[in-house]
Structure 1
Amino acid sequence: MTNWRAYLIDLDGTMYHGSRMISGADQLINAMKYHHIPYLFVTNNSSRTPDDVAEHLRQMGIPAEAKDVCTSAVAAAEYIANMQPGAPVAPIGEHGLIEALKQAGLSIDTERPEFVVQGIDRSFSYEKLAQAANWIRNGARYVLTNPDLLLPGQDGLMPGAGTISASIAAASGVNPVIIGKPSKILMKHAIDRLGVRPDETAVIGDNMHTDISAGAHAGCGTILALTGVTNRDNLAELMEKTGVRPHIICDDLTEVRSLVVGSIESAT
């Protein structure tokens, strides 16, 4: 049996698709709450605040509060605040990122920032690109919330934060520090919040490139749910590409729930 006692749970593709709950997501979270199993929802999405994310989950019938949510924006803000409290930062992003920076006590400064913090920005422009590149070339450190090249939109896949970052990196000649999955920085932030060790923690997710790779990089257990990006047909190819093999593979969230609850019951 596993010795995992806490879980980091992906959202899109694991808990829901868009605004539709994946079957068994509510039952999994209710079971974890009933058995007092520590968990956090961990997302690369930097555009929403934890309150926004929790409200989205509740609207689908999944129990959630802001304290249960860990976003790449919050982790990026705290990463900078721990390095340099009150640092002047220039955000390139949306509401969730700007609120996270303010909550961490950082100073929004578009004159002489010491950090450029970038996430998804659906109003990104040539002017913003030129400005960001100038800040970075003048010595500002570059922090990227998450490297996702694409994200789902109403009309199919849309450019993500990683695509914007590619242009800034090309224009500035500087690659960013990446916070979100598959980086271990986001996972360490979440693990520290739960007050557990990596080897006591398992990541539950559907994406080999992000969730499962991040868990492996952080020294966590990994539970792959075949509820989204990864399926039986592409699993072998994705394991070869990532060089990562999940500890456990579950066909659905009912199987995940049985695994999680079973491991707790066997330990008591």
Structure 2
Amino acid sequence: MTESKPVETWLTDMDGVLVHEEHAIPGAAEFLAKLQSSGKRFLVLTNNSIYTPRDLSARLLASGLEVPEESIWTSALATAKFLDSQRTGGTAYVLGEAGLTTALHEVGYVMTAREPDYVVLGETRTYSFEAITQAIRFIENGARFIATNPDPSGPSPAGSLPATGAVAALITKATNVEPYFVGKPNPLMMRSALNRLEAHSETTVMIGDRMDTDIVSGMEAGLRTMLVLTGSTRPYQVDRFPYRPSRVVDSIADIVDLI
């Protein structure tokens, strides 16, 4: 990196940067080992709100990547932190799985189906028409609408799956109420990660594979950004965006020597 201030902290996306469909991307293990041996502070970021950091740490380990659970920051954790800052000890009707409910419980939120302060939508593999209908009615009655991230779809071995953004669009269509999305590309996700590490934006780099989430949110949070070409964004697409990453590299393997 050519900037005057040395890099002290690293943030990196997970899917498309470190792993692809649960297989480690070449260079990812070396990158993580170099971070840990150097003593640099880092967090692995993900919009996935299904799993707890402990779950994700175990899943990464199964892929051959060692990441302690305290070094994983999810959109569920960022959402819980945001809600705690807005209304401490509030109540929520939650559509989501353990990653989200655990994060909310840990900040003192109560899950309820009686006049909740918030409807909180996260990713799940078992969306229920009954639960979505209940969420719509709570929002119509005044509950505030929060969603962990705007991703419309996610990958699976069989093809795309509807994700949080798609279900949020359904609820918005029914209620005419837009959710507040906490996860990427909201720079709030980056800010909450920086706060978790007690880090400064001027000495932090964000690594991602998507121009429209990782790179734009990192840029808007004042971070240096690095795009890897092992995930969603293809080389020919980079110039189509009105903003650019600080650097474009083929893969995470090209970043090891920069730490």
Residue 249, structure 1, aligned to residue 248, structure 2: yes
Gaps of 5+ in 2: none
Residue of 81, 84, 87 corresponding to 1:84: 87
Residue of 233, 237, 244 corresponding to 1:234: 237
In structure 2, the partner of 1:26 is 29
Query: 1:78, CA displacement in angstroms?
Result: 1.3
Residue 144, structure 1, aligned to residue 143, structure 2: no
Q: Identity percentage over the alignment?
A: 34
In structure 1, the partner of 2:208 is 205
Residue 73, structure 1, aligned to residue 72, structure 2: no
Return the alpha-carbon distance in structure 2 between the equivalents of residues 174 and 65 of structure 1: 38
In structure 1, the partner of 2:11 is 8
Decide whether the 8 Å contact of 1:8 with 1:202 is kept in 2.
yes
Query: 1:70, CA displacement in angstroms?
Result: 0.3
In structure 2, the partner of 1:127 is 130
Letter in 2 for 1:133: I
Deviations 1:133-176 (A, max 9, x none): 11112111111101000100121111111000001111111111
Letter in 2 for 1:253: I
Return the alpha-carbon distance in structure 1 between the equivalents of residues 63 and 57 of structure 2: 10
In structure 2, the partner of 1:181 is 184
SS at match of 2:256: helix
Q: TM-score, normalised by structure 1?
A: 0.92
Letter in 1 for 2:81: E
In structure 2, the partner of 1:40 is 43
Cα RMSD, aligned residues only: 1.1
Deviations 1:159-217 (A, max 9, x none): 11100000111111111111110001111110101111222211101111111111012
Return the alpha-carbon distance in structure 1 between the equivalents of residues 255 and 172 of structure 2: 39
Decide whether the 8 Å contact of 1:225 with 1:256 is kept in 2.
no
Q: TM-score, normalised by structure 2?
A: 0.96
In structure 2, the partner of 1:112 is 115
Gaps of 5+ in 1: 262-268
Return the alpha-carbon distance in structure 1 between the equivalents of residues 133 and 160 of structure 2: 26
Residue 164, structure 1, aligned to residue 167, structure 2: yes
Return the alpha-carbon distance in structure 1 between the equivalents of residues 87 and 150 of structure 2: 23
Decide whether the 8 Å contact of 2:238 with 2:244 is kept in 1.
no
**After TM superposition, what 4+ stretches of structure 1 lie above 3 angstroms from structure 2?**
none
